[in-house]
Amino acid sequence: MSSVPFARLLLSAAILTGVAACGGDTSTSTTTSTTTAETTAPAAAPEATAPAAVPATETAAAPATPAAGVTLASLTGDATKGEQVFGQCKTCHVVEKGVNRVGPSLWGVVGRKAGSIENFKYSPANKNSGFTWTDEQLFTYLEAPQKVIPGTYMAFAGLKKPQDRADVIAFLKTKA
Ligand code: HEC
């Protein structure tokens, strides 16, 4: 919990840095591009500031992410949004019963034992994980699959946003 003000500090620092860096850039380019740029420079400046500041904030937030403290219980999953999030899983999974692709069918996955689809060739890591795919287990797993099950065949970086995970879990629950 004490990490929150610290994270804020980091964020403000990042924003300041971002803005400062950006201001620097802008003034440099204004100076170098001489008087012809006078009309374009003021218009470009606010534009340049905004996108630069946003990624800077995100990058700074990533390591000190509040996600560490976010529990699934504190979130409300939205199945409709979750269907969109599931777009990221679709390259490898479908939610139709008995249809395996690169990954196993995710029909009825919530509550299922890990590695339990008969005709899917799991990694030993997944098969022997001993997991049951409860909401909570999925919430943890989907943040960083390769960390939670080292050796998994699932080549997916993870859903960093807790809300995305809550949403996709809500969606998966409707497919059972
Ligand atoms: C690049 C392909 C790929 C993507 C993208 C992907 N997965 Fe997977 N997933 C796999 C593979 C392959 C496995 C089997 C892992 C193993 O056997 O080690 C798997 C396994 C799983 C399992 C365990 C199933 C079981 O029966 O034990 C769950 C749950 C899962 N994926 C959910 C998701 C969700 C949700 C997403 C999207 C947010 C997703 N996956 C994205 C390939 C993928």
Q: How far apart are CA 173 and CA 80, in angstroms?
A: 12
Question: Splitting the chain (176 residues) into consecutive groups of 10 residues, what average pLDDT does each group show?
Answer: 48 45 42 43 46 45 55 97 98 97 98 97 98 98 98 98 98 98
* Paired strand residues for 132: 113
Helix axis angle for 3-32 and 40-61, nearest 10°, is 150
Q: Coil, strand or helix: which one is 174? A: coil
Q: What is the pLDDT of residue 69?
A: 79
Matching residue, tokens 């939610």 = 95
Per-residue exposure over 128-146, b if at least 16 CB sit within 10 Å of its own CB, e if not: ebebebebebbbbbbbebb
pTM of the model: 0.70
Pocket test for ligand 1, best of 154, 169, 173, 174 (most atoms within 8 A of CB): 154
Pocket test for ligand 1, best of 93, 99, 131, 175 (most atoms within 8 A of CB): 93
Q: What is the pLDDT of residue 27?
A: 42
Q: What is the pLDDT of residue 115?
A: 98
